[in-house]
Amino acid sequence: MSKLLQLFSTMTISCLLAFAVQAGPIDTYTFPDEVTKKRFNELTYELRCPKCQNQNLADSNSPIAQDLRKEVYDMLIDGRSDGEIMTFMVERYGEFVLYRPRVSSITYALWFGPIVFVLIGGFVVFMFVRRKDDEPEHLSEEQKQQLKSILKD
């Protein structure tokens, strides 16, 4: 009985996995070589679908994502560089299409904000800690001995 159950659960899981693999949109593009294929995958992974807002081009099935994937493919076949393709997209859809926005005056806060926050936080913590490890000076020699023996236990 338990064997049967195990078999059944294994089958269910493998079915689910099979579906999971097929969940992405299917395009039938043929690539001249593995490098181009890899670049296509990387570009569609890095570019955001303008309509669906929080999916990349590779994941989305919306018509505009299909069009843009086609566009990326055509440009790759055309021999354009990754940078050119990115610029093409940004010129039309704005910085929004980039999941990793470029460093520019409007994205400084985004890029360097976290570092500034960590630095300020570190500074504040440092100021507090430094004050704390001063040894209490108002204790007499006897009291200090007592304190040490208590801490030893």
Partner 1 sequence: MKILIRLIPLVLFILLGVLLYRGLFLNPQAMPSALVGKTFPEFSLTRLSNQQQTLSNADFKPGIKLVNVWATWCPSCKVEHPFLVKLSKDKRFSLYGINYKDNRSDAKKWLKFYKDPYQFSIFDDAGRLGLNLGVFGAPETFVVDHKGVIRKRFAGVLEPRVWQREFLPLINTIETEMMQGK
Q: Using CB under 8 A, list all residues that contact partner 1.
A: 50-51, 53, 63-64, 67-68, 71, 90-96, 117, 120-121, 123-124, 127
CB of 24 to partner 1, least distance (A): 20
Pair of tokens at residue 41: 């995958």
User: In angstroms, rounded to a whole number, what is the distance separating the alpha carbons of residues 111 and 103?
Assistant: 7
In the complex, least distance from residue 82 CB atom to partner 1, rounded to whole angstroms:
19
Residue 63 or 83: which CB sits closer to partner 1?
Answer: 63
7 vs 124 by CB, closer to partner 1: 124
Q: How far is the CB of 51 from partner 1 (least distance, A)?
A: 4
Q: State the SS3 of the chain.
A: CHHHHHHHHHHHHHHHHHHHHHCCCCCCCCCCCHHHHHHHHHHHHHEECCCCCCCECCCCCCHHHHHHHHHHHHHHHCCCCHHHHHHHHHHHHCHHHECCCCCCCCCHHHHHHHHHHHHHHHHHHHHHHHHHCCCCCCCCHHHHHHHHHHHHC
The minimum distance between CB 19 and partner 1, in angstroms, equals 29
Question: CB-wise, 120 or 139, nearer to partner 1?
Answer: 120
Residue 120 or 147: which CB sits closer to partner 1? 120
CB of 17 or CB of 113, closer to partner 1:
113
Q: How far is CA 61 from the centre of its chain?
A: 21
